[in-house]
């Protein structure tokens, strides 16, 4: 295991995308675990999905009464990012701000270029001019594209993205590598695998399915149900992020005698791909148990098997051996347990049947 070399106690941490699903959970976790930490959050709070959920997450953070500052704005605003770094001088930066979603990138490419490329460039430039101990940033399992080899390893070539979203995430890794090499910025990229949980993103399948089933609409299951996804519960993702934050990659000398940049990439996934039909079965059982749907709900009448969508891949499957080896951690929340927590949250937030 690696030795921690970044002490978060008493430090200032900048979290971009702080009103987002992973961002808000990370902020709450940092306040729960770390003494005297100051967290600066920034989020543009776009209407890509229901902003009420985002404001609800922020309200929960506010209620903690900790050393928390929030700025509503975009990381694509270079002047704003420069001001944040100048005013607060963060020691650690966690970049989770991004325009998410594979399918949305097919119809709205501008949003991805602005947030995922220009925004990330602004973060890198700020880290270059204001010395930071560690930059941690979100990549995605989508960078593996139509990779035939499973499980997906960070040693695999990832040169064939099948969506613009995936291409922007791969570019983040390349940009971070260049800045690490040129300016000695310790950076770690995290490839997240299908994150889910309470107060998650309504555009994700489990949330969208629940909304539709509750409204009596038909859900579409892509690739005729023959897709597999490495569903990863949000608490497991956050656990991985917190551990990784505390070890900044160190500059080393390679076998050729040349310096190796302080740069790493890890997968964070459950390493247990679930078939979509099994996933839907578990989801419906937990929604009935939580009272979101009636016990006699006719699921067969509300299911439609359809072909694969552009930009989708048939399977995602994380090889997390490097994360286990370096940080002694692997995600382990079962899909049933995770969906149960989501269903209970949904019942409390939206009401029972």
- Which of the residues are catalytic? 165
Contacts of 115 (CB under 8 A, 6+ apart): 44, 74, 75, 76, 97, 98, 99
Closest CA to 326 of 230, 250, 231: 250
Instruction: Please say whether the dihedral angle defined by the alpha carbons of residues 310, 312, 313 and 319, taken in this order, is positive or negative.
Output: positive
Where does residue 140 fall: left (phi above 0), alpha (psi -120 to 50 degrees), or beta otherwise? beta
The number of beta carbons lying within 10 Å of the beta carbon of residue 129 is 11
The tokens for 323 are: 């994360």
Please name every residue paired with 318 in a beta bridge, in sequence order, or none if there are none. Answer: 152
- 3-state SS assignment for residue 45: coil
* CA-based torsion, 102, 104, 109, 114: positive or negative: negative
Sign of the dihedral defined by the CA atoms of residues 33, 36, 40, 45, in that order: positive
DSSP state of 67: S
Cα separation of 152 and 353, whole Å? 40
Residue whose C-alpha is closest to residue 1's, from 332, 264, 323 = 323
Going by their DSSP bridges, the two strands 195-196 and 232-233 should be labelled as parallel
């Amino acid at each position: 295991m690696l030795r921690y070399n970044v002490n978060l106690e008493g430090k200032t941490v900048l979290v971009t995308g702080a009103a987002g699903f992973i961002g808000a959970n990370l902020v709450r976790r940092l306040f729960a675990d770390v003494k005297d930490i100051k967290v600066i959050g920034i989020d543009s709070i776009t209407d890509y999905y229901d902003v009420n959920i985002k404001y609800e997450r922020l309200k929960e953070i506010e209620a903690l009464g900790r050393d928390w500052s929030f700025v509503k704005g975009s990381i694509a605003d270079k002047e704003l990012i420069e001001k944040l770094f100048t005013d607060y001088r963060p020691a650690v930066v966690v970049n989770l701000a991004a325009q998410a979603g594979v399918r949305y990138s097919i119809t709205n490419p501008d949003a991805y270029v602005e947030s995922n490329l220009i925004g990330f460039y602004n973060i890198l430039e700020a880290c270059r001019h204001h010395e930071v101990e560690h930059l941690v940033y979100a990549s995605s399992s989508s960078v593996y594209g139509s990779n035939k080899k499973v499980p997906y390893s960070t040693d695999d070539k990832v040169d064939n993205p099948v969506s613009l979203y995936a291409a922007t995430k791969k570019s983040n890794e390349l940009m971070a590598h260049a800045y690490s090499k040129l300016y000695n910025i310790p950076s770690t990229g995290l490839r997240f695998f299908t994150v889910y949980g309470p107060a998650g993103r309504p555009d994700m399948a489990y949330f969208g399915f629940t909304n539709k089933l509750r409204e009596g609409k038909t859900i579409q299951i892509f690739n005729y149900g023959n897709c597999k996804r490495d569903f990863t519960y949000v608490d497991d993702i956050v656990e991985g992020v917190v551990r990784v934050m505390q070890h900044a990659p160190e500059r080393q000398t390679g076998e050729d005698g040349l310096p190796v940049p302080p740069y790493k990439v890890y997968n964070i996934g459950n390493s247990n791909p679930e078939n979509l039909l099994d996933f839907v079965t578990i989801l419906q059982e937990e929604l009935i148990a939580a009272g979101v749907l009636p016990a006699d709900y006719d699921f067969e009448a509300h299911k439609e098997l359809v072909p694969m969508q552009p930009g989708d891949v048939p399977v995602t499957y994380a090889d997390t051996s490097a994360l286990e080896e370096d940080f002694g951690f692997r995600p382990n929340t079962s899909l049933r347990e995770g969906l149960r927590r989501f269903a209970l949250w949904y019942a409390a937030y939206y009401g029972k049947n």
